[in-house]
Amino acid sequence: MMMNEGTPAISIDRLTKRYGQTLAVESLSLSVPQGTIFGLLGTNGAGKTTTFKCMLGLARPSEGSVSFEGRPLTPPLFERLAYVPEKCALYEWMTGAQLLEMQRRSFSRYDDKRANELMDLFALDRKKKLGKFSKGQQTAMALVLAFSIHPEILVLDEPAAGLDPVHQRHVLDLIIGESAGGATVVFSSHQIGQVERAAERVAIMHQGTLRLAGEVEQLKSDLKVVEATFDTDAPSLNGLSAEPSVGQIQRAGRLVRVYVKGNGDEIARKIGDMHPRSVRILDQNLEDIFLTTVGSSGSAMAADVAGASGR
């Protein structure tokens, strides 16, 4: 089935999920454009897995809704959608070959040639029972099943967890390859470097709420680090914290880093007046952005940026 151009592949509208008194996800709204790679970042317990579960009907949202290509999720959509959960959910008593057969019988899009190529790529033994696989191999098996059906939408929760660096790279290549073929990929990972390498857009969740969302390049250009080195211990920069563009200030001996929104020129000039040995303006990488976003002092700034760069 072809999608309408411009219709988001996935739309999450004010999604809230409560487990008893615990608020796992609060009023989350996100939009994932078709054919993009979307990274969902967050600390443990941020609500990423709950969000995935609500998206896929594995958990009922307390409030809000999720739609795929403008329509609610129905079982036939799973013909074109693959999900790899954080924790391996496959049957440990089945062999690799039996799991492939299970997939073949469940999905008309199943591609046996592709599945076998992936089994070889991850060096998985078809005759071995899943219970005898290592954790990383179990994750790889789940990935083989997911990619073997040529999904149009891929939802991957920590897809590289437990994999060695070589296979992590394979996963990244597969994600990028699927996206290049037109698939929409949503994935979460604690490996921020991988997300930065693959994702075109990211969302950062913290304590169940969305803190930041937008295109990776845009976020990186909107947020800078002004780094200064002094001959002696760095002076107090309390005066700068009142600046609206300043998020977090880190001091470590003679080094000081100020995380700022915007180009950072004004802040660099003010620090320059304090006669540092050097001062320079650096781009923030995704890890910097993530850490500033989930850090309490950076939240306000991140929220501002989310307002500017988000959906």
Q: Which stretch binds another protein (CB under 8 A): 29-37, 86-94, 126-134, 260-268?
A: 86-94
In this structure, what token pair is assigned to residue 299?
């939240």
Dihedral sign for Cα atoms in the order 277, 295, 260, 237 = negative
C-alpha span between 287 and 299 (Å, rounded) = 15
Interface residue with another protein among 23, 77, 274, 281 (CB under 8 A) is: 77
State yes or no: residue 266 binds another protein (CB under 8 A): no
Question: Applying CB under 8 A, which of residues 6, 20, 76, 165 lies at the interface with another protein?
Answer: 76
Nearest Cα neighbor of 73 from 19, 10, 126 is 10
Rounded to the nearest 5 degrees, what angle is found at the Cα of 292, between the Cα atoms of 291 and 297? 125
At 184 the three-state DSSP class reads strand
Q: Give the x-and-dash track for 100-119 against another protein (CB under 8 A).
A: -xx--xxx------------
According to CB under 8 A, which residues from 18 to 57 bind another protein? 53, 56-57
Among 25, 82, 140, 216, binds another protein (CB under 8 A): 82
Cα separation, 252 vs 127, whole angstroms: 55
Cα–Cα distance measured from residue 162 to residue 131, given in angstroms and rounded to the nearest whole number: 15
Q: Tell whether residue 59 is a contact of another protein (CB under 8 A).
A: yes
CB of 128 to another protein, least distance (A): 16
Is the CB of 32 or the CB of 291 nearer to another protein? 32
Going by their DSSP bridges, the two strands 63-68 and 10-19 should be labelled as: antiparallel
Among 10, 90, 210, 301, interactor with another protein by CB under 8 A: 90
Q: Which of 122, 110, 119 shows the shortest CA–CA distance to 170?
A: 122
- Out of 29, 45, 79, 221, the only residue in the binding site for another protein (CB under 8 A) is 79
Return the half-sphere exposure (C-beta side, CA atoms, 13 A cut-off) of residue 288: 23
- Which of 71, 87, 275, 277 binds another protein (CB under 8 A)? It is 87
Residues of this chain that interact with another protein (CB under 8 A) are 53, 56-60, 75-79, 81-83, 85, 87-91, 93-94, 98, 101-102, 105-107
